[in-house]
Structure 1
Amino acid sequence: MIIDLRSDTVTKPSKPMLEAMMQAKVGDDVFREDETVNVLERKIADMFGKDQALFFPSGTMANQTALKLHTNPGDQVICDKYAHIYNYESGGASFNSGVSCKLIDGNQGMFTAKQVEEAINPDAYYYSKTSLVEIENTTNKGGGACWDFNELLRIKDVCNKNQLGFHLDGARLWNALVVKNESTKQYGGAFDTISVCLSKGLGCPIGSVLVGDNEIMKDALRIRKIFGGNMRQAGYLAGAGLYALDNNINRLREDHKKAKEIEAELLKLSIIKKVEQVETNIVIFELNDDVDEKLFISRLANKNIYMISMGNKKLRIVTHLDYTNAKHEKLINNFSSF
């Protein structure tokens, strides 16, 4: 039995999802003739109350397209120091869009409207122009933490007053919606653009979607082409997305429950210095200074249990739909042996 908790992207399509994929009606999406892609894009646009949605092969490409839609070379983007667009997209913000990032020292990847106001550059020619605020919900490096929606609305007010765009990296937004009992329409009303992932948490083999209104999205298709992201018979992948939206959102509660139980077990271990508070499906914990991180990881790997190191003795566990009750029981039993 292999227990892979490195990410919620390691899942394999279920048999019903594979069947939905094989039944998809496809066409050439470069000509915008793939029926299933069109259905998926329309469905997600409607969910968020936006004019348009565009299907991407990855969340990184969706985010990078959003940055390019909102900015010009030389501009500056405000984001948290833990932001995915800054830490995990290979410097794409500077390479693709020629922008820099003003990093906010937030709390678990989240910051306040006041911090945004303080981060906006003065309106003088020798400063880079602040043009976009970007947030991530849930926060990956923040341990799957969920934003306070009222704070997001306050940030939106700051953006409106200062003519700034507002983009949401919603790679794990589905998790936040389930935990906070919030709606896609709420988020669609608060943000100019939103990227959502269909593989993280929802079990698809590939795919993310970017949504926005007509004005901001008018060049999205062209930018996706520039990035090499246009696909042909992509409906087989979109079919997985449609299945996931209909069947795999509410079950995220199971992943959250298991993550909370893992948190409780880790808190019992004397070798653990700290466990970040768990809200969704990510558990980040820190080993004591005298614990050998490599030895800890290899000891678990020898039992076919895998997790990821985040550096400085911090480790990450991510629960997902392929992490069964039997695997959960085995993990808990192994923790009790430390």
Structure 2
Amino acid sequence: MDLRSDTVTQPSRQMRAAMATAEVGDDVLDGDPTMRELQERIATLLGAQAALWVPSGSMGNLIALTAHLRRGDAFLAPAGAHVLDAELGTAAWIAGGMPRPLQHDAGPGKISASAVLRAAGSPGPYYTLRTSLLCLENTHMAAGGVVTEVDEHAALAAAARRAGLKVHLDGARLWNASVALGLPPAALTVGVDTVQVCLSKGLGAPVGSVVAGSVEFVEEARRLRKMLGGGVRQGGVLAAAGLVALNNIERLAEDHERAARLAAGLADRGWRVTVPATNIVLLTPADLPSMLRQLEQAGVRAGPMGNQVRFVTHGDLTDDDIDTVLTRIGPVDNGISAPRRPA
């Protein structure tokens, strides 16, 4: 039972067939027709002028930050954001921006518009950092797949504009936020300059993300992708998988339902768990390393997230699998590990 991430899924037969029969061209030289179709379709879904396929979400974020930042610039992001903690510091040492994490003053994984305005400040002397960018993340992975709702997003984007900041949205799991809210993805990108979305997480493609924005941004993004080694030749083989993956957006509701079932079952057995907003369940054990080892021995694969255990539901799991996981973990009294009780 592998719940380490929603990236562990296997390509479906339909996806493999589409990859095998994809129409392809040299995307570096004069474009790949299947890649072009995928990019145009995603640009429409996101309400953007244009889009560009990239091998990974981390590269997509880095391309956007490199396009927006200059040396001596600072950027704001919610504490625990992927661009801060899970991309090897490339925002600083490649894009050249100084990260300024904002504490979650509006709930787990969430920041307020007033916090953005305070952190942006006003221009100082020439030797001070210029804050020029706000990076948002929806859903916020490290907070447990927390969703930023439309009005919250609009307030943050408006605050950024008021402070003269550009806005990049790390939407690696934006599809999950869209399904959770029952809204089209474009409703969650209003006011942003750029957005990155992932095809290889809940949607099940074997590889690939897309970064989107204006036509001018995508022209620059293509250059930056090449600089970072991300140019592809017959990329249609991979883009074909992405096109099939887009048919899985509505299916994400099943992942959310199974995450809720898993969390409820763990809580019933006495475990301290979060109530999931989407497909990520966080459990707080007494001894994280010990619990991870015992989970592995019980045939349940999960991952660490700070001092918590992260379970991620995905398309290769069934309802029966969730029941199996709950049985293998068991209740606190007889289970893998007992949580630390508050004094």
Task: Say yes or no: TM over 0.5.
Answer: yes
Which of 273, 277, 283 in structure 2 is aligned with 1:285? 283
Cα deviation 1:131-157 (Å, max 9, x = unaligned): 110110001101001002112111111
Contact 2:298 2:329 in 1 (8 A): no
Superposed, 1:217-296 pairs within 5 Å as 217-246=218-247, 248-270=248-270, 272=271, 274-287=272-285, 291-296=286-291
1:170-189 alignment runs, 5 A limit: 170-189=171-190
- Does 2:47 match 1:55? no
Structure 1 unaligned spans of 5+: none
Cα distance in 1 between the residues matched to 2:167 and 2:2: 35
- Opposite residue 310 of structure 2, the aligned amino acid is R
- Report the CA distance shift for 1:311/1:82 in structure 2 as closer, same or farther (over 3 A): closer
- After TM superposition, the structure 1 = structure 2 runs for residues 1-338 of structure 1, keeping only pairs within 5 Å, are 3-106=1-104, 107-124=107-124, 125-246=126-247, 248-270=248-270, 272=271, 274-287=272-285, 291-312=286-307, 314-337=308-331, 338=335
Report the CA distance between 1:301 and its aligned residue: 1.2
Question: What percent identity do the matched residue pairs reach?
Answer: 39
- TM-superposition CA deviations, 1:8-31 (whole Å, max 9, x none): 001110111101111210110101
Letter in 1 for 2:304: S
For the residues of structure 1 that align with 2:5 and 2:159, how far apart are their CA atoms? 34
- How far apart are 1:65 and its partner, in Å? 0.3
Measured against aligned partners, the alpha-carbon deviations of 1:146-199 in whole angstroms (never above 9, x if no partner) come to 002112111111222222111110000000000101212223432111100001
Q: Deviations over 1:312-334 (max 9, x none)?
A: 3x110000001123322211212
Asked if the contact 2:158/2:191 (under 8 Å) is kept, the reply is: no
Q: What SS does the corresponding residue of 1:189 show, helix, strand or coil?
A: coil
TM-score, structure 2 normalization: 0.93
Q: Normalising by the residue count of structure 1, what TM-score does the alignment of the two structures yield?
A: 0.94
Counterpart contact for 1:121–1:128, Cα < 8 Å = no
How far apart, in 2, do the equivalents of 1:67 and 1:254 lie? 33
Residue number in structure 1 paired with 2:340: none
Structure 1 CA distance, aligned partners of 2:43 and 2:149?
Answer: 23
- Match of 1:194, SS state, is strand
User: In the alignment, residue 328 of structure 1 is paired with which amino acid?
Assistant: I
Task: Show structure 2 runs of 5+ residues with no match.
Answer: 336-343
Q: CA RMSD in A?
A: 1.3
Deviations 1:67-113 (A, max 9, x none): 01111111011001111000000000111111111110013221011
**What letter corresponds to residue 311 of structure 2 in structure 1?**
I
Give, in whole Å, the separation in 2 of the partners of 1:151 and 1:292.
36
